[in-house]
Amino acid sequence: MADFGNGTPAKKLKTDTDNECKDTGEFLSVSPVAGFEITRILRDSAREKNIFIHGKVKDQDAVVILEKTPIRQDTLPELLKSSELKLEMRNDVYSTYRLHAPAHLNQIKTTVVCPATEKHVKKYLHQETFLVEESGEDYRTITLPYISEQSFSLQWVYNILEKKAEADRIVFEDPDPDTGFFLLPDFKWDQKQIEDLYLLAIVHRRDVKSLRDLTSEHLPLLANIRSKGEDTIQKRFGVPSSKLRVYLHYQPSYYHLHIHFTSVDYEAPGCGVERAHLLSDVIQNLQADSSYYHNRSMTFPLRADDSLLLKFKEAGKL
Ligand code: M7G
């Protein structure tokens, strides 16, 4: 690895084929965003350098997410050498410029959801958030009926489990029907640098919706995901377990058990205390009490126009 003079080796992603970062995708002859007509901006952030747009593609609702990607340390020499600079201002020892990078070093990560449902649009719309405290009883009488009726489709999850989609992206597979899982990059990660590493472990079992369903019966599954997930990430990406945040969301968006593996250096959306539950805590809680997640009250955030929030209000819980 190159060293840039400050003693810190340049970080780049290790792949198993070679040590270079490669673009695996091909350029598309027809761009899915070329005919996109913008309806409104759902959310944007100058700090996070992303924008969420609602619009239409051929009369179908769609959401497009554009996000500037982090600057990769391993491309710095090329970036500095081969870009053109335009001077903006100069004052004493200070000067600012516009740097026009070569196209291949200046990409925007683009996510398209099409057709998008109203629920997708709401998920990305910037909204006021409220914390809700849900008892075990509330889960069974309010949340569970809601999930059964109104949650996001799990088709993308089943496509992965049946290798109908993203099969070439699978990093690790344990085929055991009870304790097995797939490990693959979350679609929030472009895999160009390890600073924002984000992988998902998706279990084969289809009968575990979320943290609420877990009992000590699932301890072998959770322990297997933790040890094989961490081991694979260490071998494949050179990231030790001490640099990984491994957690479950409650509430998740998708009610099929999955576990998030993110770099501790990356403030991943949803990694705050109100939504993320560390896998190591979950394992210890279940070891101490098999019904821990059946019985305890759980607090989580809901957006203002989330129908689940309305259900809690109607039940007089807010
Ligand atoms: P979650 O905790 O259910 O909800 O996590 P969240 O989306 O509110 O965090 C689901 C995770 O799956 C998220 O981190 C998503 O970025 C990721 N994800 C969602 N979809 C639709 C896909 C997909 O099609 N492929 C992959 N690889 N990841 C996805």
From ligand 1's centre to the CA of 260, what distance in Å? 9
pLDDT bin (cut points 50, 70, 90) of residue 4 is: very low
From ligand 1's centre to the CA of 294, what distance in Å? 24
From ligand 1's centre to the CA of 160, what distance in Å? 12
What average pLDDT does the chain have?
A: 90
Between residues 6 and 28, the one the model is more confident about: 28
pLDDT in tens, 128-171: 999 999 999 999 999 999 999 888 999 999 999 999 999 999 99
Which atom, in ligand 1's list, is nearest to the CA of 113?
21
Stretch 185-202: mean pLDDT, rounded? 93
Between residues 142 and 305, the one the model is more confident about: 142
Residues 217 and 202: their CA atoms lie apart, in Å, by 18
Report residue 297: phi and psi, to 5°. -80, 140
Residues 175 and 161: their CA atoms lie apart, in Å, by 10
Sheet holding 60-68, edge to edge: 37-45, 50-57, 60-68, 108-113
Residue 198 has pLDDT above 70, yes or no: yes
Does the beta carbon of 249 lie inside 6 Å of ligand 1?
yes
Does the beta carbon of 186 lie inside 6 Å of ligand 1?
yes
Residues 287 and 238: their CA atoms lie apart, in Å, by 30
Residue 13 is predicted with a pLDDT of: 59
From ligand 1's centre to the CA of 146, what distance in Å? 20
Does the beta carbon of 254 lie inside 6 Å of ligand 1?
yes
pLDDT in tens, 258-270: 999 999 999 999 9
Does the beta carbon of 270 lie inside 6 Å of ligand 1?
yes
Token pair, residue 222, equals 């959770």
| Residue of 258, 260, 277, 294 marked active site | 258
Average the pLDDT over each of 27-31, 108-112, 157-161, 175-179 and give the range with the smallest value: 27-31
From ligand 1's centre to the CA of 268, what distance in Å? 12
- From 247, 251, 253, 282, mutation site for ligand 1 pocket: most ligand atoms within 8 A of C-beta: 253
What is the β-pairing status of strands 276-278 and 244-249?
A: antiparallel
pLDDT in tens, 109-121: 999 999 999 999 9
Q: Are 12 and 21 in contact (CB under 8 A)?
A: yes
pLDDT bin (cut points 50, 70, 90) of residue 11 is: low
Does the beta carbon of 152 lie inside 6 Å of ligand 1?
no
Q: Where are the alpha helices (DSSP H) in the chain?
A: 76-82, 118-124, 136-138, 144-150, 155-161, 219-237, 279-288, 292-295, 307-314
pLDDT bin (cut points 50, 70, 90) of residue 24 is: low
Nearest CA to ligand 1 atom 25: 187
Does the beta carbon of 62 lie inside 6 Å of ligand 1?
no
Stretch 52-62: mean pLDDT, rounded? 94
Nearest CA to ligand 1 atom 8: 253
pLDDT bin (cut points 50, 70, 90) of residue 16 is: very low
Nearest CA to ligand 1 atom 11: 186
> Is 258 part of the annotated catalytic residue set?
yes
Residue 18 has pLDDT above 50, yes or no: no
